[in-house]
Amino acid sequence: MSSSAPASLVPQHVAIIMDGNGRWAKQRSLPRVAGHKVGMERARDITEAAGQRGVKSLTLFAFSSENWQRPFEEVSYLMDLFVTGLEREAKSLHKNGVRLRVIGDRSRFAEKLQNRMAEAEALTAGNTALTLNIAANYGGRWDIINASNLALAGKRAAGDSSALQEADVTPHLALADQPPLDLLIRTGGEIRISNFLLWQAAYAELFFSSVLWPDFSAAELDAAIADYGQRQRRFGKTGEQVAETN
């Protein structure tokens, strides 16, 4: 799959659960943090590759709501890596026309990290080549509850006591302003989505790769996109109905 592939075969919104950093490091008798460092480099490579292939939104699961349970030293390293990564990558993303968004509950992060997130978002806000969403302290359940609370507050303020509907919640979800999620990739061989984009993934195509994230290359991305291009997306219809409209 090259950057010249037909647009109809390229997912407009791809999300990736970047799994396997720790196992990659362990296989090489390295500390887990070494895997995270290489994993960050891989995120840079895959962001570039996704843009070249015509993907419009790329969402990377960097740190889940549950990852705070990991060893203190590992979490501390990841926080430092976020800060240095944002400082180093923001200008490069901006130069390449990439808009950066951070989704998730930022309140638990240190003020310095929150500031770096806001600065990087502000710098790249006007870019249109690709939107890179970094999910940090993010969980799908949190996203749904947060959006529901915002929707409910809005209805109450308007004096509306009716029950919440899907249309009330959707505008308040993370990524509501971006294309629907087409393809969800998980690396590392695990076959689950781990509380990631639960609402958004309702009709996404799922692709599970056995490759550990630090080894995930542009060729692996191409394999996932090629597999996506072979899928028939029915959205509740029959295969015959979809065929008739194509």
Q: Are 132 and 121 in contact (CB under 8 A)?
A: no
**Is 195 a residue of the active site?**
no
Taking the CA atoms of 150, 155, 161 and 163 in sequence, report the sign of the dihedral they define: negative
Rounded to a whole number of angstroms, the distance between the first and last alpha carbons of the chain is: 22
Report in angstroms the alpha-carbon separations of 203 from 161, 209, 234.
Answer: 30, 19, 9
- What six digits make up the tokens of 132? 């890179």
Neighbouring residues of 67: CB distance < 8 A, sequence distance ≥ 6: 75, 78
Catalytically annotated residue among 21, 67, 149, 177: 67
How far apart are alpha carbons 30 and 79 in whole angstroms? 19
19 among known catalytic residues? yes
* From 19, 143, 168, 182, active-site residue: 19
| SS3 category, 31 | coil
Positions annotated as catalytic residues are 19, 67
